[in-house]
Structure 1
Amino acid sequence: MATHASATSCVRFTGLPLWWCPVLSLAKAAKDYYLRKLGEISPGEDYYLRGGTATGMWRGNGATELGLSGTVSAESLVRLFDGQHPGTGEHLGRSLRKDGVAAWDVTFSADKSVSLLWALGDPETRQQVLEAFEEATSEALAYFESVASSTRGASKTPVLDDHGDPILNENGTPRFRVESWPIATTGYVAASFTEFTSRADDPQLHTHVVVANKVKGNDGVWRTVDGRLLYRYQLAAGYLHEAVLRRELTERLGVHWQPVSNGMADIAGFTRPQIEAFSRRRHQLETWRQEQGLPDTAAARQIAVIATRNPKRDRPLAELEAEWRQRAVEVDLTPGQIARLIGRGRDVTPADPEALFESLASMDGLTAHGSTFAKPEVVKEIAGALPEGGTRNQIEALAGMFLGTRDVVPLLSGRDAEPSDIVEDHALDEPKTLNEPLAADRVVRPMRRRDGSLFPGVRHERLYTTTELLATESRVVEQARAGIGAGRWTAPGRLVEGRLRRNRHLTEGQREMVRQFATSGNAIDIGIGPAGTGKTAVMAVISQLAAMTGTEIMGTALAGRTAAGLQDATGIPATTLTRLIGESKDRGLPPRVVLVVDEAAMVGTRQLAAVSDLVEAVEGKLILIGDDRQLPEIDAGGLFRALVNRLPAIELTDNVRQHQAWERDALTQLRDGTVDKAMKLYQQRRRLVIGQDRDDTMGHAVQDWYRHVTATGDLTSGLLIGYDNDTVDELNQRARTHIAASRHLDGPTVETAERVFQAGDRILCRKNQSRLGVLNGDLATVTNVDQESKNLTVRLDRDAETRDLPGWYLELGHVDYGYALTGHKAQGVTTSRTFTVITGNTDREWVYVAMSRGRHANTLYLASPEPADEQCTHLTHQERKEALDALTVSLGRSSVQTAAIDHLPGSGPASSDIAERAAWIVARRQAEHSELEHRSPGIELAAGR
């Protein structure tokens, strides 16, 4: 959970929760701005060194190497930001660029209940809390330093053809092969500053650790920190910090804990009203937002932060303590009650490693949302699974023990599973020296968090999977390989050709796909259908052929709306995967059935395996239709892609949706990863808009959308698309305001769940309700409002029939505005024009889906990161270019998942014995543990303090 600042003259950062070890990059050029304005203090007054904070202290092995210890002076801090020796002023390696990152601010913050125990406890309790917090911070920082303090060396060599001549890019510049490698260092040069209050003068223990962007490599050369590692390990460090803090307070004060949630736990005994009484800043922001009529979104909260920001007044601690104790009495937090929260220090209850490891290796554990994992994820999950916490050594020891169990299979690194990168070098006009790290996009493989957002991966990081998931993947691959030409359902050739003659509108690619599916006899056939290529038309013909041969055909998809769309367009009876699997577990599928899985690339490995097993049990045929270049799986995935690489899959190539040839070309380039060419086309056609700021960008998108739907007189002809729910909420509010001011809406209104609906409104149904005839994701237009019952009558887009939505469905929040959708909700939607708002951190698959929804036009609106202060609200020409460059870099990365079997040693698309190899690895792994009963030592035996 990071806070990232761009290296420009205005520090920008995304708003993320403060209580996890946020990482803020400090631009060298923005150093003075940040020190002066982060706390709204007067010019010349240093944020880190002003009164009211604990004395700054040197930290890190790198600081020790330089002979730094004790307190930090203002002069030494300035030198630290300038890349100089804090004591002598000597430059440490090459000078930092003016717009470069000068330092990293890593912040460790205590949970509010811990801060309250410190603020309201007796002197001994307060001292114990401070010492516990200091120990947790030291341990977490030591972990950070051990895993995230390396730097990188880099080199590039020209790419030569077979004759030894340089290969040139289209612009005539040489093409280079860029390589980099990690270099170990002596550690961080860092300074820490502990503060005790929030901006609202509430108790809030937190420590800023300013890590200089200079480290000394083991080769003696000073270079910049590989900052991607800080972001890579910050979640693990944050969870570890909280676990150590829980253990320290348990042993020192005997406190008890509420259940751990997302790595954090409140001290048992504090009530939510008591905690809220000391969270006035949050209340202040919420009150201001509501008074201004702003939606509850991240952007609105950021506006509230800026608008209500007051200087930290550095009031005397004694004055604040008196105020806190008075406020505590008002919420029944008396000294006696505080005393009852603590007791005699006690030993932490040891963890049960067997139960812990079983949970981590289960389907709901580390591979619930990804086919592979690395050690940081293990550290994070273990730290969050210990109710009373543990030490860093214990947690890391448990992580190592888990990775050595029979249920875990070591794999190749993420990078080793892919070919070397060849880059068309636009930025590297000069050879990279060892003193300058390679740009992040040149060396990193993107990885995905559990919430779906991206973080940079680490080259050559060892990956792991579980024996259960590897066995599941290999079983399906073996079923597919063994099922080639297995004599499953086919239709006579003459019948197939006759159907094709009757469907003259089909492209040649669609015809070939029909022939493949209907005549191959394969147990599993795969069709790749890029956006707009008409895969539904293919399945309509397959449906006809199945009926003509007396074969039962069924369809399924992840989403009910997708299944309904398949059924409506092809006549194939379809339902959701969850329902199909649940209903077929006992009774099975019809004999020799043909089962079509739509949007199969979005289906997780375990669900895809369950479907494959069901079809195999009745000797049926499984047809997988999807595109692994569109939105990836939410659950552990990569299996569809693995099958594509190993089976004779057939791909549609003719885009029949987009009317403009240039737009079809741009989408192809975007899908294939030729991002710079695609962006150039969108720019040339004025389909890429870069706003002055986020508000300006969203305003442009909504204005353009409104002009379009007003000109056509049809609200269904245009669709706004946003990257996340907050953006979509704002777009919907803005769009609805425009529509309400026009003549598109009429009649009575009904207000429910913070929404006002009227005849003419566009709505989105958010919950499947079969008896109402609506599905999650259904778009509709309100045709009538019953104010008395609060019922809506709506006309669905997918079948033009009307449905009655009762008041209780609205009251439960199952109806939202439908003027704007997220990319995931928009997948499968086709309209005339789309207007898509994104940030520079959007991944390629998402943008490809969003920009392929409109038949006539699709426009991209690029929003810059939210500024940190009202004094920096407009982008310069250079900053616009940087925003576009950042987008191009982001789109150059893929977020698709890779199956675990694609990380096995020697695996690859051409491997025909992959299932046997995977089975052998699993068997060998388990055999290593079969001679002795596998019993892990208890946590206290695994590692000492």
Structure 2
Amino acid sequence: MLSIAKINSAYNQVKHSATTPGGYLFYLQSSGTRQRTDFLEYLNPDQSKLEPQPFWAGSGIEDFDLSEIVQMEQVEKLAYGYSPKNGEALVRGAGPLHVMGVDMTFSAPKDVSAVFAAADPTTQAAISQCMQKAVESAMDYTQSISVTRHGAAGRIKKKVSSIIAACYPHFASRAIQPQLHVHAFLFNLGKHRNSKEWSALDNKAQFDHKMTAGMLFRVDLAYHLAQLGFEIIPDRQYFQIKGITEYQRQTLSKRRTEIQAFMKQHEGKTSLDADIAALNTRSAKAEPPYLELLGHFREMVAELGLTTEYVTSLRNPGQYPAPSEFSISHQALLDELTQIRSTVKVQDILHLICKKSMGIWNAEQCRNCLDKFLAYEEVLHLGNTEHLTQVITSKSMYEKEHAIAQRVEDGLHSTSPIAAQRVHQAFERLREDLSKTIGHSVNLAEQETAAHYICNSSSNHAFVVGSAGTGKTTLLKAVADIYRSERFEIMGCAQSASAALNLAREANIPSSTLVSLLLRHQRGTLALSPRTVLVLDEAGVVGSREFDLLQQAVIDAGGKLICVGDYKQHAPIEAGGIFRSLIEKFGGAHLNQIQRQRSDFAMIYRALGDACSHSKPLVPKEKLNAIQSLSIAEQSAALDDLALHSPILASVIRPWQATHDFHWMREAVDQLSKGHAELALTTMAVKGQLYMDDDRSKAMDTLIRSELLVV
């Protein structure tokens, strides 16, 4: 696997080390996020040890005429942004304030470490060479995707021709178990193409390509191990070595077990949770001398049945087919890629190629396959991302999505609109009913505007965008009632069963899953007609193929398709992104005001509704139930209205509001949804949820002093 940690400037490292025991390097990867790395421990190895030595990677080796031996003096100059040849500044801001770079840690699969621990010295040296070749291949790829930042706010990105990294092999985990890994210290330096000038890197590119760089490392390592005669067994994105048992693997994974136990205890599930678990279970590393370490490893694995003789028996050079016998179909690869998404980044293509060729091809062969694939006649190049990553699609997918857009264009004036007065009257009644229930007026302006867009339009398509809590369900329930009153049949569908159930229960629209609806239509058991209005909920997660089938079914019947969702919240489950592209091309209704956000109402409802032995509840049960049926925003407003008109109720409600009713948070989310980021952050700062200061150094000092940064 590959993990990446940003290494901060020497200035900030000193400040943070002074305040935190252990001398860790701190960095802010993103606002409010801090990680640490003990990379300084690896910068000055004892080169008198009989162990694999640090090595350079990247074309910067030739630029600076570096020798094979990594010298600490050279590392220090590069880390500060200076030339290791003459000490001249390579970048603007070179010195103690220059961000040093990133620590890219390449870790071998556990089977490799187990075999290494039991192998004879010759095989151990060969495995170490395999590790070095694999890291060099991954760093060569990293160089190909690296960019520098230029212009205002770094908006202009330029590809580099050279990077430079100092790579440090290590052999043990923090639990002093076999764990081969290499720390590649990628300096924050990139040489411009067709130029002798250097600039600081934009490290987002390394993070964007992290998965693929790690995959290239593993595929190259697997290839070289196969050349040594080990049988490689692909294991999804990883690989195993035949002959290593699951028991041996787990027994030698104490560190992983510690992290998993911490995650289970704290209900962690995400990669960020894993990072936090790794930090909180991390102990100081006291690695013994190399030869002593190897002796310790040999005793450890011998107890598991892994001996030198056994490892020798696992090797059988020449037993595998030559790489020339293996090939990947370009069309099959394109079909598989576009089953996942409609547009594909080049790193995702390379990742899949590596996965398919694990143990057969090396990194160079995988990248050659990528180059040939990109020249395939069915591949359509769409351009580059901000960080100059190529994006492609298939010609058939492009044609399908073009056909979808054309149907929308053709249907702009194909249906009879419902009178605007009819929509207005429906919302007047809805407002009146809700106001009577809760005792104060309700604001449904956005929902009414969206309903006019849907019902008053002569188009056979309608698109509504809104994140969770913006009142989409209220809108759909009202629209469904309006269409029913005009003798239309309204039905719904969604990608997931839970969303379909919610659409039926909350909006009173009979619904099913999208797959179920399409199957019934294909079998002839679902009748659509010109009087059909079909609501597609969570349209942002629907793929282009399914959208195409649904659209054709509705349009062929002469009906109307209403698509509702939030394309910013989810990635399409199948090949997709079509909802967003249609919104961008044809527009739609936007619900922006957040009407519900989680608050802890249970406590206040118990206080208001519980009856004592000598008194009645503070609020009648019927009224309390009516308030609870409203959106959370309206519940808050209703409780506020109760407190306003009753000192007794105010004495109960006001303290709860101060502690548990996060109205300010709903306000901040609403501000963010409308693009007012600074206003939202200011609101959060006023509430003490974050600290804001124009001076970054001052902000860091304040956070450290206030102990808001917790190790």
Query: Could you say which TM-score interval applies, normalised by the shorter chain?
Result: 0.7 to 0.9
| Residues 300 and 495 of structure 1, relative CA distance in 2, 3 Å threshold | closer
Tell me which residue corresponds to 1:278: 252
Per the TM alignment, residue 502 of structure 1 is displaced from its structure 2 partner at its CA by 4.5
One-letter code of the match for 2:547? L
1:320 aligns with 2:277: no
| Residues 503 and 65 of structure 1, relative CA distance in 2, 3 Å threshold | closer
Classify the secondary structure of the residue corresponding to 2:317: coil
CA contact (8 A) 1:41 1:312 kept: no
Tell me which residue corresponds to 2:10: 28
Per the TM alignment, residue 113 of structure 1 is displaced from its structure 2 partner at its CA by 0.7
1:521-540 paired onto structure 2 within 5 Å? 521-529=458-466, 534-540=471-477
Tell me which residue corresponds to 1:238: 214
Tell me which residue corresponds to 1:248: 224
One-letter code of the match for 2:201? V
| Residues 145 and 316 of structure 1, relative CA distance in 2, 3 Å threshold | same
238-247 or 136-145: bigger deviation: 136-145
How many residue pairs match? The answer is 617
What is the rounded CA distance, in whole Å, between the counterparts of 1:43 and 1:615 in structure 2?
A: 60
The structure carrying a bigger helix percent of its residues is 2
1:647 aligns with 2:586: yes
What is the rounded CA distance, in whole Å, between the counterparts of 1:190 and 1:566 in structure 2?
A: 54
Classify the secondary structure of the residue corresponding to 2:463: strand
1:268 aligns with 2:196: no
What is the rounded CA distance, in whole Å, between the counterparts of 1:25 and 1:234 in structure 2?
A: 16
Tell me which residue corresponds to 2:553: 614
CA contact (8 A) 1:26 1:105 kept: no
- From 502, 508, 527, the counterpart of 1:565: 502
Classify the secondary structure of the residue corresponding to 1:247: helix
Tell me which residue corresponds to 2:143: 145
1:332-411 paired onto structure 2 within 5 Å? 332-346=305-319, 348-350=321-323, 355-362=328-335, 365-411=336-382
Tell me which residue corresponds to 1:200: 175
Question: Normalising to structure 1: TM-score of the pair?
Answer: 0.57
1:213 aligns with 2:196: no
One-letter code of the match for 1:482? D
Per the TM alignment, residue 573 of structure 1 is displaced from its structure 2 partner at its CA by 0.7
Structure 2: runs of 5 or more not aligned: 26-35, 433-442, 611-627, 631-659, 681-685, 693-698
Tell me which residue corresponds to 1:731: none
Tell me which residue corresponds to 1:590: 527
What is the rounded CA distance, in whole Å, between the counterparts of 2:520 and 2:381 in structure 1?
A: 36
Structure 1: runs of 5 or more not aligned: 1-18, 157-177, 415-444, 446-457, 660-700, 718-742, 744-796, 800-830, 838-842, 853-857, 865-873, 885-945
1:413 aligns with 2:384: yes
One-letter code of the match for 2:378? D
| Residues 491 and 87 of structure 1, relative CA distance in 2, 3 Å threshold | closer
One-letter code of the match for 1:474? H
One-letter code of the match for 1:276? Q
Per the TM alignment, residue 595 of structure 1 is displaced from its structure 2 partner at its CA by 0.4
1:333-732 paired onto structure 2 within 5 Å? 333-346=306-319, 348-350=321-323, 355-362=328-335, 365-414=336-385, 445=386, 458-459=387-388, 461-487=389-415, 499=426, 502-503=429-430, 505=432, 507=444, 510-529=447-466, 534-587=471-524, 589-592=526-529, 593-628=532-567, 630-631=569-570, 633-647=572-586, 649-651=588-590, 655=593, 657=595, 709-713=602-606
One-letter code of the match for 1:83? G
What is the rounded CA distance, in whole Å, between the counterparts of 1:105 and 1:74 in structure 2?
A: 16
Deviations 1:625-677 (Å, cap 9, x if unpaired)? 23445555454433222222333634457x48379xxxxxxxxxxxxxxxxxx
One-letter code of the match for 1:151? T
| Residues 835 and 299 of structure 1, relative CA distance in 2, 3 Å threshold | farther
| Residues 534 and 128 of structure 1, relative CA distance in 2, 3 Å threshold | closer
Per the TM alignment, residue 206 of structure 1 is displaced from its structure 2 partner at its CA by 1.6
CA contact (8 A) 1:599 1:626 kept: yes
Identify the structure with bigger relative contact order (alpha carbons < 8 Å, sequence gap 6+): 1
Classify the secondary structure of the residue corresponding to 2:239: coil
Deviations 1:743-774 (Å, cap 9, x if unpaired)? 9xxxxxxxxxxxxxxxxxxxxxxxxxxxxxxx
Classify the secondary structure of the residue corresponding to 1:591: coil
| Residues 863 and 638 of structure 1, relative CA distance in 2, 3 Å threshold | farther
Question: Normalising to structure 2: TM-score of the pair?
Answer: 0.74
What is the rounded CA distance, in whole Å, between the counterparts of 1:282 and 1:132 in structure 2?
A: 24
What is the rounded CA distance, in whole Å, between the counterparts of 2:260 and 2:674 in structure 1?
A: 31
Per the TM alignment, residue 572 of structure 1 is displaced from its structure 2 partner at its CA by 1.6
What is the rounded CA distance, in whole Å, between the counterparts of 2:61 and 2:703 in structure 1?
A: 36
| Residues 798 and 195 of structure 1, relative CA distance in 2, 3 Å threshold | farther
CA contact (8 A) 1:529 1:535 kept: yes
Classify the secondary structure of the residue corresponding to 1:265: strand
| Residues 409 and 22 of structure 1, relative CA distance in 2, 3 Å threshold | same
102-111 or 209-218: bigger deviation: 209-218
| Residues 607 and 304 of structure 1, relative CA distance in 2, 3 Å threshold | closer
Tell me which residue corresponds to 1:868: none
CA contact (8 A) 1:252 1:346 kept: no
Percent of aligned pairs sharing the same letter: 24
Tell me which residue corresponds to 2:615: none
Per the TM alignment, residue 198 of structure 1 is displaced from its structure 2 partner at its CA by 1.7
What is the rounded CA distance, in whole Å, between the counterparts of 2:688 and 2:524 in structure 1?
A: 49
CA contact (8 A) 2:80 2:96 kept: no
Per the TM alignment, residue 69 of structure 1 is displaced from its structure 2 partner at its CA by 0.7
| Residues 549 and 351 of structure 1, relative CA distance in 2, 3 Å threshold | farther
| Residues 351 and 613 of structure 1, relative CA distance in 2, 3 Å threshold | farther
Per the TM alignment, residue 88 of structure 1 is displaced from its structure 2 partner at its CA by 4.0
Per the TM alignment, residue 38 of structure 1 is displaced from its structure 2 partner at its CA by 5.5
CA contact (8 A) 2:119 2:311 kept: yes
Tell me which residue corresponds to 2:122: 124
One-letter code of the match for 1:640? F
What is the rounded CA distance, in whole Å, between the counterparts of 2:547 and 2:110 in structure 1?
A: 43
Per the TM alignment, residue 351 of structure 1 is displaced from its structure 2 partner at its CA by 7.2
What is the rounded CA distance, in whole Å, between the counterparts of 1:863 and 1:559 in structure 2?
A: 40
What is the rounded CA distance, in whole Å, between the counterparts of 1:134 and 1:846 in structure 2?
A: 50
Per the TM alignment, residue 465 of structure 1 is displaced from its structure 2 partner at its CA by 0.8
Per the TM alignment, residue 622 of structure 1 is displaced from its structure 2 partner at its CA by 0.8
One-letter code of the match for 1:326? E
Rg larger for: 2
CA contact (8 A) 2:134 2:220 kept: yes
One-letter code of the match for 2:490? I
Tell me which residue corresponds to 1:788: none
